[in-house]
Amino acid sequence: MARVFSGIKPTGSVHLGNLLGALRNWVTMQGEADAVYCVVDLHALTVRHEPAELRAATLSLAQILIASGIDPERCTLFVQGHVPEHTECAWVMECTASFGELRRMTQFKDKSEGTDFVSGGLFTYPALQASDILLYDTDQVPVGEDQRQHIELTRDIATRFNSRYGDTFVVPEAVIPPTGAKVMDLQHPDNKMSKSEDGAQGTILLLDDPAVIQKKFKRAVTDSDGEVRYDPTLKPGVSNLLSILGAATDRGPAAAAEGIERYGDLKEATAEAVIELLRPLQARYHELAADPAETGRLLALGADKARTVASATLDRMRSNLGLLPR
């Protein structure tokens, strides 16, 4: 069985696009692969943050993942900062990557523009990301196009290290996951729904109250011709609602349009479907939030499983590098 690694950063709030576009696939992969899922809290340190907010966001994200169907009994779910092998391996990754490779990373260019302070960690975090992946003998990394460059760098680092010091790391493959629903902003349907826009009227957060969800869908942008049909080019707002309705009810967007003639009815049907989709998730989340010790127990189990694999990889790496045994 192939081992799959995916990570998610505890910044912003998790929204409907995350659930329909990615987390559903994570749940499915639990039964198809040896799945390793990581809340990458150390990646959040590349920019200034409030410690209390990071702590709360990390715990909340783990609880949302479990509430979404990620089962710690069927996969390895852990917090990156609980497995110290990540940072030790990351230093070796930094020493294996070249300055030029790190400088060419497009996400560094994008995130460093227009800021007064650019941390060294923002520059070198692709090395930590490579460490995250390589520590677990990962075979496959599901990624979108925006992350493909990072996986190519990880492959280059692993290949270079293996060439210099002998077979140490599995060279992972980037895989395009099954296409989930492409969820766009309700107010700006040409833009993807974003988890960085907390409270925005165009974003449905997974923990939004039903009344808030209804209000946001009621205000969703459509168009003026009044015809309910799926046409992302000419009718992006209506098509976005149909995509969401279809994904929430396990239908295609064209099938979701059947029997709906008015925009108001489409908005109401979509809101109701999303509320029902999120109802069990929200109930499970609130159970976990009321008992944070249980979440801590589950994350500790995940960290123990993760360290069993990561420590073996790290020992192999240290030995091949010529470092003295501990």
Contact 141, 133 (CB under 8 A): yes
CA-nearest of 288, 304, 183 to 243 is 183
Strand runs labelled E in the chain: 3-8, 34-39, 76-79, 140-142, 173-175
Q: Which entry of 9, 109, 111, 182 is annotated as an active-site residue? A: 111
**216: Cβ–Cβ under 8 A, 6 or more apart, which residues?**
186, 201, 202, 203, 204, 208, 271
Catalytic residue among 9, 109, 182, 192: 192
Q: Which of 9, 195, 216, 267 is catalytic?
A: 195
- Identify the DSSP state of 146: G
- Catalytic, 215? Answer no
The C-alpha atoms of residue 74 and residue 246 are separated, in whole angstroms, by 28
What CA–CA distances, in Å, run from 128 to 131, 133, 159? Answer: 5, 9, 16
Q: Residue 13 and residue 129: Cα distance in Å, rounded?
A: 21
Residue 305 known to be catalytic: no
For residue 172, give every residue at least 6 positions away whose Cβ sits within 8 Å of its Cβ, in sequence order, or none.
5, 133, 134, 138, 139, 140, 141, 151, 154, 155, 158
Q: Which residues are catalytic?
A: 111, 192, 195
